[in-house]
Amino acid sequence: MPPTSLPISTLIRQRRSVFPKFYKSEAPIDRAVIEQLLENANWAPTHRLTQPWRFQVFHSPESRAALGDYLSGYYHYNTAPEAYSEEKMVKAGETPRRAGAVIAIVLHRDPEARVPEFEEIAAVAMAVQNMWLTCTELGLGCYWSTPKAALEASEFLQLEPNEFCLGLFYLGWHEMPEVAGKREDVAEKVLWR
């Protein structure tokens, strides 16, 4: 999908999860594009300006391979034998390699705990939404994944005690066909008073 300049309401409604199976693995993502995503993420709302988002970018083939090795290893060593699938283990390792980049989404909790934790999680989610909308505008596919391996990646990511991973944001130029959005009528979700 080519870059576009759409009204914000149209952009929001065209946002989609684009899964790594649709990524063109031979199409690298320029560092400047990732920096644009991160800059837009940095402008998310944040109570008391705690700016609790932190990001680790796996951009080089070597770093994406290391992430893949971590994910497949985590699956291998933490999956019960009765639930184990060799196919899932291989897929866990291949998915980061297929992406043009992967961004670890990290919550950096305010050391003074000036705001409730849920507000900081919400701020990080809004930062991710800013990245997602930017990807939509650029025609870049993306997907926020929350496997247990990512949520428990503090040691792998070398996080501080007040930090934890909220998932992985996969990026890739893609060939996914356009898919119609699915939402129930908002009127069914609103009570006017």
Average pLDDT, integer, range 83-107 = 97
Do residues 13 and 181 touch, judged by C-beta distance below 8 A?
yes
pLDDT confidence of residue 104: 98
Name the residue with tokens 């149209």. 10
10 pLDDT exceeds 70? yes
pLDDT confidence of residue 174: 94
SS3 108: strand
How many percent of the chain have pLDDT more than 90?
90
State phi, psi for 70 to the nearest 5 degrees: -60, -50
- The yes/no answer on whether domain 8-175 falls in CATH 3.30.1360.170 is no
pLDDT confidence of residue 3: 57
**If residue 142 lies in a helix (H) or strand (E), which one and from where to where?**
strand 140-145
Write down the mean pLDDT value for the chain: 95
**10 Å Cβ neighbour count for 139?**
13
Domain boundaries, the chain: 8-175
Average pLDDT, integer, range 156-167 = 98
**CA pair distance 96, 69, nearest whole angstrom:** 9
pLDDT confidence of residue 2: 55
Smallest CA-to-CA distance from 68 within 76, 85, 135 is with 76
Which tens digit of pLDDT belongs to each residue from 37-90? Answer: 999 999 999 999 999 999 999 999 999 999 999 999 999 999 999 999 999 999
Which tens digit of pLDDT belongs to each residue from 12-23? Answer: 999 999 999 999
Average pLDDT, integer, range 146-167 = 97
**Which stretches of 38-189 are assigned E, i.e. beta strand?**
53-58, 101-108, 140-145, 163-173
Q: Tokens at residue 186, please?
A: 């908002």
pLDDT band at 101; cut points 50, 70, 90: very high
